Chain A
Amino acid sequence: MDYPEIIAYLNDDCTPQEKEAVEQWRSANADNERMFNNIRQVWEASIQKVESENPDIGQAWKQVRSQTTGKQIKKINWSRRISGIAAVLLLGLVAYLSQPWWIPVKMEEVITQNEGIPTQVSLPDGSSVWLNKHSKLVFPKKFKGRERVVELSGEAFFDVQRNESKPFSIKTAEAQVKVLGTSFDVMAYPDSSIVRVQVNSGRVALSSIEAEQDSLILSKGEEGFYEKNERRLEKANILQANRIAWKTRILEFNNTSIAEAIPLIQDIYQVRLELANIDIGNCRFSATFDDEPLENILETMSTLFEIKTAQKQSNSYTLSGQGCPK
C-alpha cells in the first residue's frame, strides 16, 4: 500500500474496491494499522487553523492607505490645466538646467571598521540600514529618478520603506537585490565567492548585475546565493539560524553544541569565553535568547550542565565542569 491510495482513502475519494483494498491491508497486521493511523494523524494535523488568525488590521490599513488615499495627489483644476502643463514643462526645463548630466548627484559614504555594534544609517527615504563590520555603503543625498539605488560592499541589514512607484535596489560588485518594501540581510564581502541574501519580511528579487531579468524571488525566511565564479543563482535549502543575530541580537540554539555556540556569543556580546575542560564543548542544548543579558545565557548553560562560570576580567569568562561525552 502506498501513500496515494491511503490519501485517496482518507479523502474519501476512491472506488469501493480501492476502499476495500486499504481496509484489508489495514487489518492484515498491527504494523499496517499503526502506520495507517500515523499517516492519518499527520494528514489531519496538517490543516492550518486560520479561523483564529487576526492580522493587525490597523497596520494593514496604514500600508494600503499609504498607497491609495494617503498618497499625495494634486487635484487638477480643469480651468488651470493648460497653465499647469506649461508650469510642468517649465519645471522640467529648470530641473534639466539645474541638474546637467555631467554634474553627478552628491553621494554619501559610510564605512565601518571593526566596531562591536552595528552602525545604523538613515537613508533619505526613511529606510534604515545597519552595517556590519568592514562594510561600505554608498547612497545619494537624495533619491532622484525612478529607482532608489544604493551600493554595498560587505554585510548590511536593510529595513526598506515601501514605495511601489520607486523600487529600492542594492548593487554589489556582481549581484543586485531589488525590493519594494521589506527587511532583509545582504552579505557581499569582496573576498567571498558568494553574495548572500536572507529575507526577514516581504519579498525580494536577487539577480546578477548583467542579467536582471533572471532573478531569484526570495520570500520571508528564505535565503539565496549568487555564486560569483559560476554566475549561478541558488536558493539555500537549510536556513542557517543566527545569521542575522549581529543585528537582531536574537540567538537561537537548536541542539547546538556549546563549542558551536561560543563564537556566536563572543561576537555578539564582545566577550571571550574560555573552556577549562574541552568536554564542555560537547554539551548540546536548545534555547532562544532574545537580546538577553549575557548572564542569563551563562546561567542557562550552568544549570543545564553543572558548569561553573568565573569572570576573569570585565569581558572574559572561564567555564569549568565535567562537560559531556562526545
Chain B
Amino acid sequence: MEEPEKLIKAIQLGDEKAFEKLFYEHYHKLYRFCRQYIFEKEIAEELVQDVFIYIWENRRSLIISRSLSAYLHTAVKNRALNYLKSKYAREKPQPLEEGLITSLSETEESSLDQHQLHQLVQQGIQQLPERCRIIFTLSRQGGLTYDEIAEELSISKESVKSQIKIALQKLRAYLKEYWEIWLIFFLNN
C-alpha cells in the first residue's frame, strides 16, 4: 500500500497519531493554497482547520477516490469558495463610482521602492469594500478568469469586470492619498 493510503486507512480506524501526522504534513501547504482565495489570514487558517475537523468527524464514511493531496486541495478550495459565495451574497452592494483615471506625478512613482509599493498596495486591498476584495483576490491571487469568478459567485461577468475596475481605481486613489498625507506631515514639521 502507498504511504498516503496507509495514513488514511489508519485515520479511518481512529488512529489519533496518524491524524496528527496528516495535519502536520499538509497544514502549511493547504494554508498557502487557501490564501489564493482568501485575503484574510485568520479566515484562511480557520477554513483549513475546518477541513481537518471534518475529516476526523467523518473518518468512518470517508471515501477518497483520488490522491490524498488532490482530495485535501479540493476540499479546501470548495470550502473557500463556499465561504466567499455566502459572504458575497450577504454583503451590501457598493454604489459604483465613475472616476477618471488619475495619474500620479513622476516624483511619487520614483520615490516609492518596490517593497514600499507592495506593502501599500496590500494595505489598500485591505481597505477595499468586501465584494470588491473578494473578486480582486480571486482574480489576482487565485488566477481565476472572469468567467470562472462569475460562475463561482453566481454573478454576471460584467459585475466581475466592473468590480476589478473599482478595485484598481480605489487602490490608485489610496496610494495617492497616502502620498499626500506624507507630504503634509513633512511640511508641518
Contact = CB atoms under 8 A, between A and B. Distances in A.
A, B co-complexed = yes
A219 to B, nearest CB: 6
Contacts of B32: 50-51, 53
Contact of A255 (B130, B171, B185): B185
B188 to A, nearest CB: 6
B122 A38 contact: no
A217 B36 CA distance: 22
Interface in A6-61: 7, 13, 31, 34-35, 37-39, 41-43, 45-51, 53-55, 57, 60-61
B103 interface: yes
Nearest to A180: B46
A69 B172 contact: no
A38 to B, nearest CB: 6
Contacts of A3: 101, 164-165, 168-169
A41 B109 contact: yes
B24 A57 contact: yes
A324 interface: yes
A182 B140 CA distance: 29
Interface of B: 16, 19-20, 23-24, 27-28, 31-32, 35-36, 39-43, 45-46, 48-49, 52-53, 56-57, 87, 90-92, 101, 103-104, 106, 109, 114, 117-118, 120-122, 125-126, 129-130, 136, 140-141, 145, 161, 164-165, 168-169, 171-172, 175, 181, 184-185, 188-189
A50 B42 contact: no
Q: Which 4 interchain pairs have the tightest Cβ spacing?
A: A68-B56, A69-B16, A45-B121, A3-B165
A217 B87 contact: yes
13 contacts: A7-B168, A38-B103, A42-B171, A45-B117, A45-B121, A53-B35, A61-B23, A61-B27, A64-B23, A164-B53, A216-B90, A219-B40, A255-B185
B170 to A, nearest CB: 10
Nearest to B168: A3
Contacts of B118: 45, 49
Contact of A68 (B52, B125, B188): B52
A140 B12 CA distance: 39
A201 B43 CA distance: 9
Contacts of B42: 201-202, 219-220
A69 B141 contact: no
B26 to A, nearest CB: 10
A55 B40 contact: no
A70 to B, nearest CB: 9
Q: Which of A13, A46, A55 has the most CB of B within 10 A?
A: A46
Nearest to B92: A235
Contact of B28 (A55, A216, A324): A55
Contacts of B165: 2-4, 7
Interface of A: 2-4, 7, 13, 31, 34-35, 37-39, 41-43, 45-51, 53-55, 57, 60-61, 63-65, 67-69, 164, 201-203, 216-217, 219-221, 235, 237, 254-255, 283-286, 304-305, 324
A4 B164 contact: yes
Given A38-B172, A42-B171, A216-B90, A54 B19 contact: no
B31 A55 contact: yes
B53 A284 contact: no
Given A49-B118, A68-B19, 10 more contacts: A53-B41, A55-B41, A55-B45, A61-B23, A64-B53, A67-B53, A68-B57, A217-B90, A283-B188, A284-B184
Contacts of B169: 3
B7 to A, nearest CB: 15
A31, A57, A68 — most chain B CB neighbours (10 Å)? A68
B185 A46 contact: no
A253 to B, nearest CB: 11
Contacts of B43: 203, 219-220
Contacts of B140: 43, 46-47
A45 B53 contact: no
Given A2-B165, A7-B164, A217-B87, A42 B172 contact: yes
A250 to B, nearest CB: 18
A284 B188 contact: yes
A220 B114 CA distance: 28
A277 B136 CA distance: 48
A45 B116 CA distance: 10
A202 B103 contact: no
Nearest to B162: A4
Nearest to B52: A64
